[in-house]
Amino acid sequence: MLKTQIILFLAHFINVLSQIIYWLMIARIISSWLTMGTNPRSGNAIVRILFELTDPVLNIAKKIPHQIGMLDLSAIIVLFAVDILSKLLIKILISFL
Angstrom CA distances, 52 to 16, 47, 81, 90, stand at 20, 9, 19, 27
Contact partners, residue 36, CB within 8 Å, separation at least 6: none
Model confidence over 42-85: pLDDT tens digits?
Answer: 677 888 888 889 999 998 888 887 778 878 888 899 999 999 99
* DSSP assignment string, 35-52: TTTS-GGGS-HHHHHHHH
Alpha helices in 35-96 (DSSP H): 45-61, 74-95
Buried b (16+ CB within 10 A) or exposed e, 23-37: ebbeebeebbeebee
- Measured torsion, CA atoms of residues 43, 45, 49, 55, in degrees rounded to the nearest 10: 0
pTM of the entire predicted model:
0.82
Model confidence over 15-45: pLDDT tens digits?
Answer: 999 999 999 999 998 888 887 766 766 677 8
